[in-house]
């Protein structure tokens, strides 16, 4: 079990499906079909509800509203892709532990400064069923698990790639970071020459509008096939190693505020805007902590209270019974990666562990035991062994290089995976008007 920090999954979809509307007692108004995805339908009421959610999202971000017909078509395409991904994930036999769902809900509540009851009340005020909210979390976890299994687990970064990356950075970009916005005009797999030309022309029309002063965020919401289209297309700050070489070739000659020509990839035509560029300080000196821990994970057999009680007993045996931390870690810790080493995680850099663990660790003096600490992985007993100031420039550069290359590969691989799942689905569209 690795409790080191990683990116939490994409935001949870909070839209709820509407039921069948009823009119007079003798008449039932049948919901119309907007699209068929394999053996499931997307109804007009579902589409309308997601459309309203999309409009609220754009208003919150002060993005100018696209025409209704274009935003409706954009919203439907996203729903089709989501439905195809969920069907695909379910077909792989993935199951979600109810305990994991409860923890996800607790984390969402905590991130919003609430407890679960307060979150439930807030959802009710927004007209969102808690049961539907929970179902959406299950669906999100299913798709994430499928992506992890089929895409992320297959990604590898070699030492040769890291060496090449570091050499390229030192000779070309010297670690510069780029703030980018992005629009994707997707091209279907095995597209005909006519389809490719039509998509190229669409991309060029978008660029022409941008060069005339059109709002990038609005055109992203209207036309982009990228996952972040409704967020305005912003990718934030990325260093050169996190950016595909195709993009870097366009960005290197651009000034802040400029828009690229269409950049062709296997997924379609990309439009880039360079919002800003900055240099990076490559020297890294950090406070490292040599730390060890004992982890107990709640389960269907071990309740939260049992986990806390067991760790308190372990703490008592160390504090007042004279027993050694490393002996009890080997006996009780459920972090298989560190238990065999007496619970030791060796030297930890800032940001290497999840925030809950790091906060508790940073509050301890060397030789001091923590109280019982909760993280997304369970309950911990932590002991800081020693601290030091360390110049980690070289190893940090290689670690950051590995992360950057992996993120770049992951972005491309996930994009390919989503497109393949979408293209393999049987989709029948019904007229929207």
Identify the DSSP state of 182.
E
Please tell me the pTM assigned to this model: 0.58
- pLDDT at position 23, please? 34
Helix H segments across 9-67? Answer: 44-60
Tokens of 300: 């269907």
- pLDDT at position 12, please? 33
Residue 99: pLDDT band (50, 70, 90) is confident
- pLDDT at position 3, please? 37
Report, as an integer, the average pLDDT of 211-237: 89
Residue percentage of the chain with pLDDT more than 90: 47
Residues 305 and 257 both lie in one domain? no
Answer whether residue 10 is part of any domain. Answer: no
Strand partners, 285: 391
We report the CATH number of the domain holding residue 401 as 3.10.50.40
Q: Which domain holds residue 95?
A: 33-152
CB count within 10 Å of CB 28 equals 11
Query: In 3D, which of 360, 406, 367, 359 has the Cα closest to residue 386?
Result: 367
- pLDDT at position 104, please? 86
Residues 254 and 324 both lie in one domain? no
Average pLDDT, the chain: 85
Report, as an integer, the average pLDDT of 308-312: 94
Tokens of 145: 């698990």
- pLDDT at position 172, please? 52
End-to-end CA distance of the chain: 52
Tokens of 236: 């934030």
Residue 284: pLDDT band (50, 70, 90) is low
More confident call, 337 vs 174: 337
- pLDDT at position 279, please? 67
CB distance 184 to 268 below 8 Å: yes
Answer whether residue 304 is part of any domain. Answer: yes
Tokens of 25: 């007692």
Helix H segments across 13-115? Answer: 44-60, 68-91, 98-111
Report, as an integer, the average pLDDT of 293-302: 89
Long-range Cβ pairs for the range 197-206 (8 Å, 24+): 199/268, 199/269, 200/262, 200/264, 200/269, 202/269, 203/262, 203/268, 203/269, 203/271, 204/262, 206/271
- pLDDT at position 30, please? 61
CB distance 147 to 421 below 8 Å: no
Residues 269 and 415 both lie in one domain? yes
- pLDDT at position 171, please? 57
Residues 276 and 290 both lie in one domain? no
- pLDDT at position 175, please? 60
- pLDDT at position 181, please? 93
pLDDT in tens, 21-79: 333 344 444 679 999 999 999 999 999 989 998 898 888 888 888 899 999 999 999 99
Answer whether residue 383 is part of any domain. Answer: yes
Q: Measured between alpha carbons, how far is 242 from 132 in angstroms, rounded to an integer? A: 36
pLDDT in tens, 227-275: 888 888 998 888 777 788 889 888 888 888 999 999 999 889 999 999 9
Q: Is the pLDDT of residue 2 over 60?
A: no
- pLDDT at position 239, please? 79
Residues 386 and 404 both lie in one domain? no
Report, as an integer, the average pLDDT of 269-282: 81
More confident call, 264 vs 351: 264
Residues 139 and 42 both lie in one domain? yes
Q: Cα separations (Å) of 260 from 30, 246, 267?
A: 47, 11, 17
Chain-centroid distance of CA 53 in Å reads 20
pLDDT in tens, 191-206: 899 999 999 999 999 9
Residues 243 and 304 both lie in one domain? no
């Amino acid at each position: 079990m690795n409790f080191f920090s990683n990116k939490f999954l994409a935001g949870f979809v909070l839209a709820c499906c509407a039921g069948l509307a009823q009119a007079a007692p003798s008449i039932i108004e049948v919901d119309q079909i907007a699209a068929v995805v394999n053996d499931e339908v997307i109804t007009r009421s579902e589409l309308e509800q997601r459309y309203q959610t999309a409009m609220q999202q754009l208003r919150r971000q002060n993005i100018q509203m696209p025409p209704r017909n274009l935003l409706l078509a954009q919203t439907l395409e996203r729903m089709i892709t989501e439905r195809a991904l969920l069907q695909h994930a379910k077909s792989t036999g993935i199951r979600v532990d109810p305990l994991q769902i409860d923890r996800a809900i607790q984390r969402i509540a905590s991130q919003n400064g609430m407890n679960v009851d307060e979150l439930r009340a807030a959802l009710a005020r927004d007209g969102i069923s808690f049961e539907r909210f929970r179902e959406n979390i299950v669906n999100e976890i299913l798709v994430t698990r499928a992506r992890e299994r089929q895409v992320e687990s297959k990604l590898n970064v070699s030492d040769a790639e890291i060496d090449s990356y570091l050499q390229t950075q030192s000779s070309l970009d010297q670690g510069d970071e780029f703030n980018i916005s992005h629009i994707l005009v997707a091209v279907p797999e095995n597209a005909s020459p006519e389809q490719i030309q039509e998509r190229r022309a669409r991309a060029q029309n978008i660029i022409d509008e941008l060069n005339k002063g059109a709002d990038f965020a609005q055109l992203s919401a209207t036309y982009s096939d990228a996952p972040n289209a409704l967020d305005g297309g912003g990718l934030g700050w990325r260093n050169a190693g996190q950016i595909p070489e195709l993009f870097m070739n366009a960005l290197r000659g651009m000034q802040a505020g400029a828009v690229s020509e269409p950049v062709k990839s296997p997924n379609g035509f990309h439009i880039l805007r360079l919002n800003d560029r900055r240099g990076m300080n490559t020297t890294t000196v950090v406070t490292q902590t040599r730390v060890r821990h004992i982890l107990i994970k709640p389960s269907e057999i071990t309740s939260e209270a049992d986990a806390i009680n067991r760790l308190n007993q372990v703490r008592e045996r160390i504090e007042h019974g004279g027993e050694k931390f490393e002996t009890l870690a080997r006996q009780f810790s459920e972090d298989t990666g560190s238990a065999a080493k007496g619970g030791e995680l060796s030297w930890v850099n800032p940001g290497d562990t999840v925030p809950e663990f790091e906060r508790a660790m940073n509050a301890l003096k060397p030789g001091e035991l923590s109280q019982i600490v909760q993280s997304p992985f369970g309950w911990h007993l932590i002991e800081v062994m020693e601290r030091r100031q360390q110049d980690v420039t070289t190893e940090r550069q290689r670690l950051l290089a590995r992360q950057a290359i992996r993120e770049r590969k992951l972005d491309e691989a996930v994009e390919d995976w989503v497109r393949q799942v979408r293209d393999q689905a049987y989709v029948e569209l019904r007229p929207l008007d």
